[in-house]
């Protein structure tokens, strides 16, 4: 139960950071991408795979737009996203 409380606190802090970025028109910066990746990790730890994938997709979208497809951080985000999609297929196979 303690871990769940820590995850909820982390989510609250990450959401607060995104709110600040939005208010400052800073939402497409790499800090925002990092925050979306952190949210993705928390959602995955909480067992919410689709929410984790969605947050990771936001991070990837920001990195592609601001850094381009060939940047190391973008490639890392692409690999993470591919891994999550693979996990989704394994955990939810379509017959």
Q: What is the CATH number of the domain that holds 24?
A: 1.25.40.10
Task: Domain count for the chain, please give it.
Answer: 1
pLDDT in tens, the chain (95 residues): 445 678 888 888 898 888 887 777 766 688 899 999 999 999 999 999 999 999 999 999 999 999 999 999 999 999 999 999 999 989 887 75
Domain range spanning residue 44? 2-91
SS in 3 state form for 12-50?
Answer: HHHHHHHHHHHHCCCCCCHHHHHHHHHHHHHHHHCCCHH
Distances (CA, A) of 77 to 15, 42, 60, 69: 20, 16, 6, 10
């Amino acid at each position: 139960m303690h871990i769940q409380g820590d995850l909820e606190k982390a989510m609250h802090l990450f959401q607060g950071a995104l709110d600040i970025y939005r208010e400052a028109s800073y939402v497409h910066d790499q800090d925002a991408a990092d925050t979306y990746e952190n949210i993705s990790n928390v959602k995955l730890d909480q067992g919410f795979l689709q929410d984790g994938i969605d947050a990771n997709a936001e991070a990837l979208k920001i990195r592609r737009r601001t850094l381009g497809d060939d940047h190391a951080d973008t490639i890392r985000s692409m690999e993470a996203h591919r891994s999550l999609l693979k996990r989704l297929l394994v955990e939810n196979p379509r017959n």
